[in-house]
Amino acid sequence: MKIVALAGGVGGAKLAHGLAQILPPEDLTVIVNTGDDFEHLGMYICPDLDTVCYTLAGLANPETGWGRVNETWNTIANIEKLGGPNWFRLGDQDIATHLERTRRMKAGKSLSEITKDFCTAWGIKQTVLPMSDSPVRTIVDTDEGELAFQEYFVHRHCEPRVKGFRFDGIDVAESTVGAKEAIESAEAIVICPSNPWVSVDPILRVIKKINKPVIAVSPIIGGQTVKGPAAKMYTELGIEPSALAVAEHYRNLLIGFVLDTVDMQLSDKIKTRTLVTNTFMNTFEDRARLAADVLNFIGSL
Amino acid sequence: MKIVALAGGVGGAKLAHGLAQILPPEDLTVIVNTGDDFEHLGMYICPDLDTVCYTLAGLANPETGWGRVNETWNTIANIEKLGGPNWFRLGDQDIATHLERTRRMKAGKSLSEITKDFCTAWGIKQTVLPMSDSPVRTIVDTDEGELAFQEYFVHRHCEPRVKGFRFDGIDVAESTVGAKEAIESAEAIVICPSNPWVSVDPILRVIKKINKPVIAVSPIIGGQTVKGPAAKMYTELGIEPSALAVAEHYRNLLIGFVLDTVDMQLSDKIKTRTLVTNTFMNTFEDRARLAADVLNFIGSL
């Protein structure tokens, strides 16, 4: 079964890794949000793309979900000593990714070409694609004014109250050729448990039209997120954070929705077929189990 | 005694460190070659300036003379895994210097302002100045064509035969304000045992006129250099490499010349006052001893 997964950072990467444990590599394409990419210390940084790649390659830090395992922090510690910006935690191994990507982009390579080469170097057999080779920049409108995404997310710890989102460049951004082809040949599209507002919406807006069955996995469990500000965003936007709210978010797209057992009572209110299962992914086995549940669910629809 | 030292990389840094061990900090200014600065992996790298600063700060690797002590190499190892350029060995701590410097330059700070701030952060009390805030780029003309300095020096291991040198930008490069003032108030200028062709000549050309007593320390000992290609360059340019050749190189400038005891027999042929002493600097004590010899020699002239 050929599957396209749409993913943001940590949560999306985990389910993508689960799918990768089950599907033959040629049957899985992961299209990743690039709206929170940014330039920092002269480097072009793609947090979600790197989280997905590191996770698929077995290079991710299992504690944090982001960054590299067995990482060292000598560069950032020395930048800090020089009085430079230290709010974005860059590990020494991770910096190699950003420096080499930036070098190649300046040499005229596209982000998708670079990602393909990096996946090969890291031994990733699945296809990982940025949602677009054109820059899209998520801007968070808050009670303190507009903030670039990483400024809001990392520097300000998601503290300012959210009023809305804007995706600079999204109207002219085309999805990558690979993404179009992967969707064309996919049997289903899986929206991973990523932030609907800032991880999935940009991907959906770039892809524009999906003529394939779409199922989504709720990133909200018992009104909360495992990681990240999705629940806080729903609240600040005046919507009660819940799996139901997520299902409503994607309502015109879905043929199926996956929610956690703790939210079982919401299942009846959701206007599409649902699968109620354990959606927590603490271990590698949890990821594979949820992926298997999702694939079986797709098979049943 | 207020001293201005002109220095390139390793050899120059060692004597500067010797002088720093003896002189009150406010009496020593080191003007450093920036002709071998270059951009690599998007970073603005100043090899000589960093070597001088790391050495004065006690942060230099005592084995290599360049780079940082207790360095780790995780970034470059990962750049290598990605198929990126690995010929210029960048340590993780060292990369912090380049990233933060590049960030500040892009924010409009001058190289001398940045160097001053970095010296403060590293606890360096002496004044270290780039020779200029304008870019000067040493180009080595070789039997394989023109090569940017680091391409010749590090990437090609000084293998191509040298035919000459060119310093892009030198005609418009002004010496820094601090450098002019330091020379104005100095009692003497010490040309450190650095490469006359590619480390000292660019500094002298930027400074243009020196109305102060100048003494030089030979970087060539027994026809060889302790480090670097100076002797090889002399040979390839048709000049026998020797302390005498170095003295001739600077002939119109000098009121004194310091050469090693192994070259004692050359002393009579040198057309300026000479000091014959042990110029090897293996230990920190050697550096201080040579610096003391040089200062006493200046006092005697």
How many Cβ atoms from other residues are within 10 Å of residue B52's Cβ? 34
Pick the CATH number of B3-42+125-139+170-300 from 3.40.190.10, 3.40.50.300, 3.90.580.10, 3.40.50.10680: 3.40.50.10680
Name the pLDDT band for B66 (thresholds 50, 70, 90): confident
Is the complex ipTM more than 0.90?
yes
The pair of structure tokens assigned to A128 is 């990982």
Domain ranges of chain B: 3-42+125-139+170-300
CB-CB under 8 Å, A75 with B99: yes
> What does the pLDDT look like over B68-107, one tens digit per residue?
999 999 999 999 999 999 999 999 999 999 999 999 999 9
> What does the pLDDT look like over B280-299, one tens digit per residue?
999 999 999 999 999 999 99
Cα(B16)–Cα(B191) distance, integer angstroms: 10
Specify the pLDDT at position A288.
98
Q: Tell me which residue in B74, B103, B121 faces A93 most closely, judged by beta carbons.
A: B74
Smallest CA–CA distance from B91 into chain A, residue: A75
| CA distances, A96 to each of A124, B84, B86 (Å) | 17, 9, 11
Element (H, E) at B18: helix B10-22
* In the predicted structure, residue B65 carries a pLDDT above the cut 90: no
Amino acid A255 reads I
Q: How many residues does chain A have?
A: 301
Name the pLDDT band for A227 (thresholds 50, 70, 90): confident
pTM (2 d.p.): 0.95
- For residue B46, the number of C-alpha atoms closer than 13 Å in the C-beta half-sphere is 31
Start-end of H helices in chain A: 10-22, 47-57, 74-81, 92-106, 111-122, 149-150, 177-185, 201-207, 230-236, 243-249, 284-300
- Pairing outcome for strands A220-221 and A214-217: unpaired
Region A205-233: what's the mean pLDDT? 95
User: Which of B53, B87, B99 to mutate to probe the A interface, most A CBs <10 Å?
Assistant: B99
The pair of structure tokens assigned to B167 is 């310093």
Element (H, E) at B167: strand B162-168
Residues of A in contact with B76 (CB under 8 A): 96
Specify the pLDDT at position B289.
98
Tell me if chain A has a CB within 8 Å of the CB of B81. Answer: yes
- Would you identify the CATH topology of the domain A3-139+169-300? Rossmann fold (3.40.50)
Tell me if chain A has a CB within 8 Å of the CB of B76. Answer: yes
Cα(A5)–Cα(A11) distance, integer angstroms: 12
Specify the pLDDT at position B64.
86
Tell me if chain A has a CB within 8 Å of the CB of B286. Answer: no
* In the predicted structure, residue A65 carries a pLDDT above the cut 90: no
B184 Cβ neighbours under 8 A, 6+ residues apart: none
CB-CB under 8 Å, A72 with B92: yes
Look at residues A46, A56, A59, A67 and name the one whose alpha carbon lies nearest to residue A13: A56
Tell me if chain A has a CB within 8 Å of the CB of B93. Answer: yes
> What does the pLDDT look like over B263-283, one tens digit per residue?
999 999 999 999 999 999 999
User: Which of B100, B105, B120, B122 to mutate to probe the A interface, most A CBs <10 Å?
Assistant: B100
| CA distances, B294 to each of A184, A243, B210, B258 (Å) | 77, 78, 19, 7
Specify the pLDDT at position A66.
87
